[in-house]
Amino acid sequence: MTDTPVPSADPVVVSTGPVSFADLVAVARDGAGVELSQEALTAIDRARDVVDELAAEATPTYGVSTGFGALATRHIPADLRAQLQRSLVRSHAAGSGEEVEREVTRALMLLRLSTLATGHTGVRRETAQLLADLLTHGITPVVHEYGSLGCSGDLAPLAHCALALMGEGQVRDADGNLVDAAAALAAAGLEPVDLVAKEGLALINGTDGMLGMLVLALDDLGRLLRTADIAAAMSVEGQLGTDRVFAAELQALRPHPGQAASAVNLRRVLADSGVVASHRGPDCNRVQDAYSLRCSPQVHGAARDTAEHAALVAERELQAAIDNPVVLPEEGRVESNGNFHGAPVGYVLDFLAIAAADVASMSERRTDRFLDKARNHGLPPFLADDPGVDSGLMIAQYTQAAIVSELKRLAAPASVDSIPSSAMQEDHVSMGWSAARKLRRSLDGLTRVIAIEILTAARALQLRAPLEPSPASAAVIALLHDAGVPGPGPDRHLAPEIETVVELVASGAVLAAVEEVIGDLA
């Protein structure tokens, strides 16, 4: 893996309150370092005092002086408790499959640190500090695709991170090289920790992986849904559609906020379009555009509102202190609970995959209309230079269709599945990690589908010359040209051009080009 982030200048300060979306993205994607506040260190010490007191008592306390899961009935003597923590981490670091993305691992590490900082887990300050140091030094444990059922939290992924704190297992150093954890710690001047009572469990019992992927997905969706509005507007323009259906007074008749925001974007992108103006007069015999054009704000808006709901769930989850058992310092006790169950996060991850599939499906339908001479209002078949000799963008739509079909399969919810584990003690699980993993694939697919629509719409608008596109559409066409996508002409090797536009969409360059001309989109 080579996606090594460039460290940010300012570290993120982790205190007893929630991590913000922006801070999580800064650490996960931009390589920001991390500092623990004095308030967090004080809270950590208070919780640790409670654990130490309970560990000294003769009465067993789950997670402190007992086994785990189905083995919780065994009282572990004091001289075996350090071994208990090491054994827990080693045995639970049982992931398999491909290595997950660096940004995902950094996100889950930050979120676990945030929970430790609340003072409800009972770890020592040196253990929390080492986790912060790994993030600051760019040391990223190797976490695998498979191993989490989303209950009790993301056990295997977090266990691989805890293993690195012990100086065991493999990690990626700041340059992305695969090295042994002990060597990476030594090179950074860090010492591994010897885990004591409660610490191993506190390090692995949380929904941090699925939550981290949710926040990253919401960051992506904020950009993608605005870019989808740009793509839809360019398609309406290129297919000689009307902008009248996006009028504010019509949208207000159905007062969904996402729909209203999407319609505003469509109107602004289409503003001052010579193409739209060319057929706006009384001679136009078009009565209604197809649904994929006319209903773009309704579908894109529903996706926006779904993302808003998911963001609300994520904000609540970021305020949570998820561990089992959890330390209640004010009462001086440790209590078992079920807050580690990933259902709240798993549901919205699945919901977002549904929205991504539907937005992509509509995008593909708009693209297909450009390529059919019976429906594209005077453009050449498949936007080809010499139809029959040239195939134009025929197979680009095939690629879109293949992706959309995959997105529909990925929209099947993971969170309705459950396979009992731990000798039926953990008899209902969330599969939230799986929901998050497939959502990442869904958003990659959505990015590609939107990119192909933009590529197609740009070519169509160029073929409408001498009619002038809107200033916003012209900015996108110029961006593509400058990036090496020249527009209409004889057939060329198409895959590199598609990938270029995919990168322009994923990086936010398409959105930035439009916003530079017309201001920020809603």
- What would the two tokens of residue 490 be? 């004889």
Please say whether the dihedral angle defined by the alpha carbons of residues 109, 110, 113 and 115, taken in this order, is positive or negative: negative
Residues whose CB falls within 8 Å of the CB of residue 158, separated by 6 or more in sequence, listed in order? 108, 112, 203, 204, 205, 206, 208, 209
Angstrom CA distances, 51 to 39, 193, 264, 284, stand at 19, 18, 55, 77
Residue 475 has pLDDT above 80, yes or no: yes
- Is 282 or 441 the better-scoring residue by pLDDT? 441
Q: Which among 62, 291, 347, 398 is annotated as catalytic?
A: 62
Residue 183 has pLDDT above 60, yes or no: yes
pLDDT of residue 2: 40
Q: Please give the backbone phi and psi of residue 325, each rounded to the nearest 5 degrees, phi first.
A: -75, 160
Residue type, 5: P
Q: Token match 């993971």: residue?
A: 414
pLDDT (mean) for 172-189: 98
pLDDT of residue 426: 85
- Contact predicate 509/485, CB 8 Å: no
Please state, in angstroms and rounded to a whole number, the distance separating the CA atoms of residues 412 and 435: 9
- Contact predicate 212/104, CB 8 Å: yes
E strands, 303-358, where?
Answer: 326-328, 333-335
Is the backbone of residue 490 left (phi > 0), alpha (psi -120 to 50) or beta?
beta
- pLDDT tier at 8, thresholds 50, 70, 90: low
Kindly report, residue by residue over 324-369, the tens digit of the pLDDT. 889 999 998 989 899 899 999 999 999 999 999 999 999 999 999 9
Per the annotation, the verdict on 62 as an active-site residue is: yes
- Is 515 or 56 the better-scoring residue by pLDDT? 515
- The two most distant CA atoms of the chain are separated, in Å, by 91
Element (H, E) at 480: helix 471-482
Residue 501 has pLDDT above 90, yes or no: yes
pLDDT of residue 286: 67
Q: Is the peptide bond before 5 cis (omega within 30 degrees of 0)?
A: no
Average per-residue pLDDT for the chain: 94
What are the chain's domains? 12-206 (1.10.275.10), 214-467 (1.20.200.10)
Kindly report, residue by residue over 417-467, the tens digit of the pLDDT. 999 998 888 889 999 999 999 999 999 999 999 999 999 999 999 999 999
CB atoms within 10 A of CB 90: 16
pLDDT (mean) for 206-212: 96
State the SS3 of 149-172.
CCCCCCHHHHHHHHHHHCCCCEEE
pLDDT of residue 80: 86
pLDDT of residue 1: 39
pLDDT of residue 280: 78
- pLDDT tier at 5, thresholds 50, 70, 90: low
Q: Supply the pTM of this predicted model.
A: 0.95
pLDDT of residue 60: 81
- pLDDT tier at 54, thresholds 50, 70, 90: confident
Environment class of residue 281 by beta-carbon count within 10 Å: exposed (0-12), middle (13-18) or buried (19+)? exposed
pLDDT (mean) for 269-292: 85
pLDDT of residue 283: 66
pLDDT of residue 310: 98
Angstrom CA distances, 486 to 231, 279, 494, stand at 18, 27, 11
User: Residues 514, 256, 236, CA angle at the centre, nearest 5°?
Assistant: 40
pLDDT of residue 82: 86
Please state, in angstroms and rounded to a whole number, the distance separating the CA atoms of residues 168 and 145: 19
Residues whose CB falls within 8 Å of the CB of residue 442, separated by 6 or more in sequence, listed in order? 352, 353, 356, 357, 407, 410, 411
User: To the nearest 10°, the Cα dihedral for 429, 432, 433, 437?
Assistant: 140
